[in-house]
Chains A and B, each alone.
Chain A
Amino acid sequence: MNFNHLGRSLAGRFGGMLAVLSLVSVLVFILTRLAAGDPIALLLGDQASLQDIELTRQRYGLDQPLLAQFLYWATEILKGNLGQSIFLQMPVTQVLFDRVEPTLSLAVLAVSMAMLIGVPCGIAAAVWRGKLIDQCVSTLAMLGASMPSFWMGLVLIQLFAVGAGWFPVSGYGDPGAPWNIRLHHLLLPAFVLGTLNSALIIRFTRASMLDILNEDYIRTARSKGLSEISVVLNHGLRNALVPILTVFGLTLALMIGGAVVTETVFNLPGLGNLVVRAVLRRDYPVIQGALLAIAGVYVIINFLIDVLYLVADPRVRHG
């Protein structure tokens, strides 16, 4: 592997990621300041008296420049101190930790559904380009991008949970419930999230396959007498793996945002639901912590996608 080139590019990307993360933290700091007034007070918790806050400020020289306040706040964040939730009387880190599992499970399940729907549809649309199936797939993809997820969720709940009774109406199951009960609760929300976000996957897959199917090596494969299925899947799809993995990552990142609304509709105790409630209740430490966590994960996922692209670059592989 050409480590020199790879190393340089990776370092550049990593630097970029750090820059964005810094900006993200600045944005969160500003947002919290505008909303709650004093991010430092939030970190110290509502048990701290005004005196304590004043002392801390003086100790760290925080009564002066905004920059100093920001730096103190940022160091605390990096140390893992996200403050104490006003309503839940727990450290924010604990609150976030408790809520990660449902969101993660939902996201993974939804992405899997999205891929299972999106990739075959994208391939079909590319192979039969211009024909009816291509137009149907494209229209369905656009329909998916036009549908409010909460509305689709509510309608499906009415039809299949309340009406037909095939699915639980809401919730995540009792605490300590086994994985199959959890799965049952996740199916409908994952379906909503997955189908609506498959549009991007369909478009990416279709575009990649169209490019690939026009390449010379596909003609060579056909000239050997291989069946069309073999040509499309064995020779064609294999070249689309990098773009498909990329869109997998992008969709996963989208799921995080999508989870906010879906968790609220289906009453799942995940991060998204947490954020909404925290906003409605003005639980600023939680809002701050959740924003940082979610945006942070988003940036890291995008960075990993960049890395993937770099590693798969043929110049780097055997350069």
Chain B
Amino acid sequence: MNSLATLSVRNLQTSLLQKKGPLNLVRGIDFEVMPGETLALVGESGSGKSLTALSIMRLLARNAQWQCQGEVLFKDNQGLEHNLLTLPEKSMRTLRGHRIAMIFQEPMTCLNPVITVGQQISESVKLHLGLDQSSAKASALRALEQVEIPAAQQRFQEYPHQLSGGMRQRVMIAMAMICKPQLLIADEPTTALDVTIQAQILNLMARLQKDTGMSMLFITHNLGVVAHHAQRVAVMYAGQIVEQGSVADVFSHTQHPYTKGLLACLPGRARQLSKQTGQRVALLDIPGQAPSMAITPKGCSFAPRCDACFEKCLQSLPEWRGLPAHTSLCHLEARS
């Protein structure tokens, strides 16, 4: 494992502790995010990708009991490495909003309805950089301009419900970026937005990343977004990462049947494959449903829905196969 990585997640397991026993929702995942790169974490709803992000940030819902195991190593720009899972809460708070920032899916519910937009943005700089009221305001105005919100002075004093969905998400981005974090975790930032706005926001985020050189962990269920905006991708299914590699590799030399299924679901992709192979590729869906997380199966979690499934798949856990740069969790022999 590369020690230059900004974020190194090793065997992360997150379980919800219930009276009838623990519910294993993230079942041992490993990935890295290098400085300046975007890793896309892709999966259906329920695959555990949002929980992964919340476990890294230690923001799991407080009205339930959780257990996180494994290592989450964050390397700050002084070269110091912290294990986020064992860090005392006080130290974690100095990192949150400052070195590691997060933006969420629903900008309407994620912004405090009774505090002005400007105040919510200025809060972070006041806290982490110790700026006073006027410097914080100036900083916030600059941040609003950076995320391409017009009439920043006006918007500063407005409340979240006075802004459109796209603008609210820009405000969230401004809030997250204002202290120039090293790592930005974006949990489905465009899913709740109109399609036309989605592209704008994604391009904005790409530009900001280029300007600041930060790393991004981009969580989405939309493979189309992945292709354009990420360098590497990790595919999650039923709490595990089933394939990981560079976007080019995973898209063109797909290894895992689930990833293949996901790609085949993309209309544009089907067309592309048809052109490539010369055969008509039908627009497919993956039959069946994601498994209940209450049971930990003996074999591969995807086996019941997999059309390449054979006996071994149901009986024993698959192992990592493939090259170091492009791996998958499957019993099938990896093709290069």
What residues of chain A have their CB less than 8 Å away from a CB belonging to chain B? 129, 213-217, 219-227, 234-235, 238-239, 241, 314, 318
Contact = CB atoms under 8 A, between A and B. Distances in A.
B112 A224 contact: no
A226 B97 CA distance: 8
Contacts of B98: 225
B161 A217 contact: no
Given A213-B62, A222-B59, A318-B162, A239 B96 contact: no
B12 interface: no
Given A226-B127, A318-B162, A217 B59 contact: no
Contacts of A238: 112, 114-115
Contacts of B123: 224, 226
B160 to A, nearest CB: 9
Chain B, interface SS category: mixed
A314 B108 CA distance: 13
Given A216-B109, A219-B110, A239-B114, A227 B59 contact: no
B145 interface: no
Contacts of A220: 104, 110-112, 172, 175
A227 B113 CA distance: 19
Given A217-B109, A217-B110, A223 B101 contact: yes
Chain A, interface SS category: helix
Contacts of A223: 57, 59, 96-97, 101-102, 104
Interface centre among A129, A219, A220 (most CB of B within 10 A): A220
Chain B: interface size category: 20 to 34
A235 B112 contact: yes
Nearest to A319: B161
Contact of B97 (A213, A217, A225): A225
B209 interface: no
B301 interface: no
7 contacts: A219-B59, A220-B112, A223-B59, A224-B175, A239-B113, A239-B114, A314-B113
B95 A215 contact: no
Interface string B84-123: 0000000001111110011010100111111100000001
A318 B104 CA distance: 25
Interface string B162-194: 100000000010010000000000000000000
A263 B59 CA distance: 52
Given A215-B109, A219-B59, 11 more contacts: A214-B63, A216-B109, A217-B111, A219-B104, A220-B172, A221-B112, A223-B59, A223-B96, A224-B175, A225-B94, A239-B114
